[in-house]
Amino acid sequence: MRLATKGQEMQECTTQIQYLKQVQQLSVAQMRSTMVDPGINLFFLKMKSELEHTKDKLEQVQNELSAWKFKPDSQTSKKLMAKCQMLIQENQELGRQLSQGQIAQLEAELAFQKKYSEKLKSSHDELNDFIIQLDEEVKGMKSTILVLQQQLKETRQQLAQYQQQQSQTSAPNTSKTTSSEPVEQAEATSKDCSHLANGLSNGSSSHHRMSGSGFHRVGHNRE
């Protein structure tokens, strides 16, 4: 029974093998029908060529990258490290020199500005002292002028009274003699007022000259 079953299975297997062989053996017509279009075939061939070229280029780039890869133990890497260290030191030295030069320049400029400020302050103090002194002198002159103006006014009033009195008298010689005294006093008072006015104008002009010279001196110091 088992042998019959085995024989039947063997027969079925043999039949399947023969069928598969027949299927694999295609005829010429079937082969022609299964061929691809020449244009498509050319396109695939071109793609295959480009793919191979790209693979070769990728392999070359990988090889170059591995060749240029940094290796601390290699001689080239040691030279590069030494060169980088030297450049770092040079940059630090140049930075220090530049910083020192700028500091020295700033210190010199600061000293010059301080000296110039002291000169300006001294000139300003001198001008202030002179202006204060001149103001005091002007105040004194003004008070003196007021007193003299009052005296001149009184003298003129006295002169007018004398002239009025003398006009009422009948003796012209006597009136001439008596009226000469207040006239002389009025002239003296007028001269005093003119002298004081001239002194005040001279003080003002000297103040302008001193102010101009002071400003000229400040400008000269600044230059």
The single-letter code of the amino acid at 218 is V
pLDDT digits 0-9 by tens, 79-121: 888 888 899 999 888 888 777 777 878 888 888 999 999 999 9
Residue of 186 and 125 predicted with greater confidence? 125
How many angstroms separate the Cα of 141 from the Cα of each of 149, 183, 195, 213?
Answer: 12, 25, 11, 24
Average per-residue pLDDT for the chain: 74
pLDDT digits 0-9 by tens, 133-162: 999 999 989 999 999 999 999 999 999 988
Percent of the chain with pLDDT over 70: 64
Q: Region 61-79: what's the mean pLDDT?
A: 73
Neighbouring C-beta atoms of residue 217, cutoff 10 Å: 15
Q: What is the pLDDT of residue 138?
A: 92
Q: Region 12-29: what's the mean pLDDT?
A: 71
Q: What is the pLDDT of residue 120?
A: 92
Percent of the chain with pLDDT over 90: 21
Structural contact between residues 193 and 149, judged by C-beta atoms closer than 8 angstroms:
yes
For residue 179, pLDDT over 50 is answered with: no
